[in-house]
Amino acid sequence: MAGVWILADNRDRTLELLNVAAGLAEKLDTKVAAFLWNDSQLAEDYIAHGADEVLILPSLEEDQPLEAYIPTIVEEALRQDPDIFLVAATARGKEMAARIAGRLNTGLCSGCTALQFDETGKKLIMERLVFGGAAVQTVTCLTRPQMATIAPRTFAPAVPLGDRTGQVRELAAGLPGLVRIVDRKPKAKQSGDVSDAKVLICVGRGLEKEEDLALVRELANVLGGELACTRPIAEELHWLPEETYIGLSGQKVKPDIYIGVGISGQIQHVTGIRDARLICAINRDENAAIFEVSDYGIVGDLYSVLPELTREFKRALGAGKE
């Protein structure tokens, strides 16, 4: 049957993949199939947004991890022989894609930032950043399916295409996997979700102590924004959770406003903020690279600029009196 397949663990990521999958399917004169689990009511929604077929994965037992879907997906792929298989590069998606590719004995291009299609060779041309974001690597896959994981928000979400019909098919459970969940513990939450925030206040190594995060948090509160950071703040200093760091190996974000505080603007960080609508930066070094990508910049010490900025925003937004 062939086709362009997509797998994502929520609706937002699925719509982004549907957008790019529809264009590829048209070029290949084939159909788009989207996997779905948990919420079969989304099937019609996915069809309205461009899926020709929705493949509903069976419910899992409480103690089964998402990876238990892999045998089902692999069996279906062996039967249907898709041309292209795109997976959202979420934490779960990355793990599942690698295992599926391994079992299908095909290549996987991970963390793609752009996709092209070679009409002559009917090949997917996948682009990804390498050497810490300093170069773009172009990859084609010699085996089928051509698999790629796509960073969240790389593509705009598909829009509803009006009255469309499609097939909805429930897949049978595969053999139970060997891995079982023995316990679940909620992760300590120190910060909100940065991935969909409209306003992001992002902090870097210019901050001297963990306690000083309170200064940045206050500005975030006044602007109704979320706190994010650079990689060293999350991975080396552990001041904020790993899912809040922005950049090449962290989250790629598209806020309306990004304010970088004490951030140098290395390419690996800037890669994650390029799609922000407005970039502002505070840095005491007037030559800091962050200013090259900023719409507004304040050259100054964050310890004097931040309180003043917070005070002015409070005044302007009527968020309280000093």
Ligand X SMILES: Cc1cc2nc3c(=O)[nH]c(=O)nc-3n(C[C@H](O)[C@H](O)[C@H](O)COP(=O)(O)OP(=O)(O)OC[C@H]3O[C@@H](n4cnc5c(N)ncnc54)[C@H](O)[C@@H]3O)c2cc1C
Binding site for ligand X (CB under 6 A): 132, 204-206, 230-232, 245-250, 262-264, 266, 268-269, 272, 282-285, 288, 301-303
Kindly report the three-state secondary structure assignment for every residue of 38-82.
Answer: CCCCHHHHHHHCCCCEEEECCCCCCCCCHHHHHHHHHHHHHHHCC
Q: In the complex, what is the shortest distance from the CB of residue 268 to ligand X, in angstroms, rounded to a whole number? A: 3
> What tokens appear for 207 in the block?
């901050």
Q: In the complex, what is the shortest distance from the CB of residue 230 to ligand X, in angstroms, rounded to a whole number? A: 3
> What tokens appear for 289 in the block?
């690279």
Nearest to 273 by CA among 260, 289, 288: 260
Residue number, 1 or 134, with CB nearest to ligand X: 134
Tell me the pairing of strands 135-139 and 123-130: antiparallel
Q: In the complex, what is the shortest distance from the CB of residue 287 to ligand X, in angstroms, rounded to a whole number? A: 9
Neighbours of 182 (CB within 10 A): 6
What distance in Å separates the CA atoms of residue 251 and residue 257, rounded to the nearest whole number?
A: 16
Q: In the complex, what is the shortest distance from the CB of residue 19 to ligand X, in angstroms, rounded to a whole number? A: 25
Residue number, 72 or 244, with CB nearest to ligand X: 244
Residue number, 134 or 156, with CB nearest to ligand X: 134
Residue number, 4 or 240, with CB nearest to ligand X: 240
Q: What is the DSSP string of 174-223?
A: -S--S-------PPP--S---TT-SEEEEE-TT---GGGHHHHHHHHHHH
Cβ atoms of 222 and 199 closer than 8 Å: no
Residue number, 3 or 260, with CB nearest to ligand X: 260
Nearest residue to ligand X on Cβ basis: 247
Q: In the complex, what is the shortest distance from the CB of residue 13 to ligand X, in angstroms, rounded to a whole number? A: 19
Cβ atoms of 270 and 202 closer than 8 Å: no
Q: In the complex, what is the shortest distance from the CB of residue 284 to ligand X, in angstroms, rounded to a whole number? A: 4
Residue number, 105 or 131, with CB nearest to ligand X: 131
Q: In the complex, what is the shortest distance from the CB of residue 245 to ligand X, in angstroms, rounded to a whole number? A: 5
What is the arrangement of strands in the sheet containing 167-170, beginning at the earlier edge strand?
A: 135-139, 123-130, 108-118, 146-150, 84-88, 4-7, 32-36, 53-56, 167-170
Residue number, 34 or 259, with CB nearest to ligand X: 259
What distance in Å separates the CA atoms of residue 52 and residue 32, rounded to the nearest whole number?
A: 5
